[in-house]
Each structure stands twice: as C-alpha cells, then as structure tokens.
Amino acid sequence: MNENSKRKIELITLGAALTALVVVLQMLGSTIRFGTFSVSLVLIPIVIGAATCGKYIGAWLGFVFGAAVLLSGDAALFMGISVHGTIITVLLKGTACGFFAGLVYELLEKRSKLLAVLTSAVVCPVVNTGVFLLGCFTFFTDFIVQGAGDQNIFLYAIITFVGFNFLFELLVNLVLSSAVVRLIKVILKH
C-alpha cells in the first residue's frame, strides 16, 4: 500500500472515530448545563479533526455536531419559535466553526503547529458563538427584544445566551485540543 492510500485510510478512520465522539459528547454534554444552554465539549474533537484531517473533515464534524444538537433537544426552545431559523442557525454554526478551525490551522501550520492548534482552538468557539448570535438576531429578534425588556438587547443576548458557557468552552478547548492534537500526530507518525 502506498503512502497516499495509507494516509487516506488514516484520515477516514480518524474522521469516523471523531464523528462518533462528537455524537457521544453532544448527547452526554447536553446534560451538563451552565445557565441557559449546555456546554459544548464537542468543540474539542471538532478542533482535533480540523487540525489533523483538514477543514473539510472539520466542517463535517461541525455539521454532525449541529445535527446532534437538533436531535438531542438542546435547541427545543428555539424550535418552538422558528423551526427553519433554528435548523439553519444550528447547522451553520457547527459547520462554520469546524471549517474555519481547519482553515486557520492550515494557514498557520507551516509557521508553528502549536500556534496553529491554539488559534484553531480559539477560532472554533468564537465562530460557533458568533454565528449563533447572528442567527439569534436574524431569526429570533422579537424573542430577544421581549426578554431584554428595557436592557440593551445585544448585552442581554450575550449575557443570557452566551455568558459563562463561551468562556468555559474556550478554556477547555485551548487546554485539551492542543494536547490531544499533539498526541494524535505522534501516534500517526508511528
């Protein structure tokens, strides 16, 4: 078997294992709540897949994350307001965070693998949260305005829908993603 075929098999195998991990972590993670939403431990395998397998596997893992969010009932609050808005927002935020984590890794990898992983680990939750907020303001503005009352709606959305969850996801991603990517790259070399 040539090196190219071996590499493709490694990517498919790792991509499949990470896909299963995304689903399991989302289903388990949907039970861990800080505030309004569950914490997305799923971003870790998305960053790992994006860094080790590329931006398209990262996008796939993000899409699977979005589908798992929809199936787990984690988006039920928003489904009651707008089904199509919820589906678009959830699938787009997941797919985009995986794709951009992989793209950033790809762009920075030659400069420094550690910098590439750490930057990807930041980009993933930032894009996930950013697209979520854009979706909120695109599809759920009336809901946000109603909940905010006299408060600034942007500040209300960040505190209510993002808050501590984002900071927790960012820190966990930074710590675990870089360590696991290093391990996988060492294993794949041998």
The per-residue pLDDT for range 139-155, each reduced to its tens digit, is: 988 888 888 788 888 88
Residues with Cβ < 8 Å from 26, sequence gap 6 or more? 40, 42, 65, 68, 69, 72, 74
Q: What is the pTM of this model?
A: 0.86
Mean pLDDT, the chain, integer = 86
Q: How many CB atoms lie within 10 A of CB 3?
A: 7
Domain segments of the chain as ranges = 3-189
Radius of gyration of the chain (CA): 17
Percent of the chain with pLDDT over 70: 91
Q: Please give the CATH architecture assigned to the domain spanning 3-189.
A: Orthogonal Bundle (1.10)
